[in-house]
Amino acid sequence: MSLVGGIVILVIIWMVIFFTVLPFNIKSQIENKEISKGTDPGAPSNPYLLKKLLITSVISLIIFALINLLTYFELINFRQYFLK
């Protein structure tokens, strides 16, 4: 796998995992009964973005490492299917 290909795959994995993790543990301002002026009552009161960014990074790096190892040791070889 080339460097650019690896970066592209890592970014795609990271984005998919991030949008999967994003809705977890969200409480709206209505549920917390603390509505800030000028905001939507359905907006999250504390989205825990830093925690979610760290979780996303760890999960995506593990998945990327597995994919990289599988392709490096040719346990999965996509080139045989696409480069005929």
pLDDT digits (tens, 9 = 90+) for 29-74: 898 888 888 989 988 988 999 999 999 999 999 999 999 999 889 8
- Flag whether 74 is in a domain: yes
Question: Where in the sequence is the domain holding 66, given as residue range(s)?
Answer: 50-78
Which residues lie below 8 Å from residue 46, measured CB to CB, with a gap of 6+? 27
- Cβ contact 70:76 at 8 Å: yes
In the predicted structure, residue 84 carries a pLDDT above the cut 70: no
Which pLDDT value is given to residue 49? Answer: 95
Does the residue 13 lie in any domain? no
pTM value? 0.82
User: How far apart (Å, rounded) are the C-alpha atoms in residues 41 and 47?
Assistant: 14
CA dist 40 → 35, 36, 46 (Å):
8, 8, 13
Asked, for residue 60, whether it belongs to a domain, the answer is: yes
Mean pLDDT of 1-11: 92
pLDDT at 80 over 80: no
The reply to whether 61 falls in a domain is yes
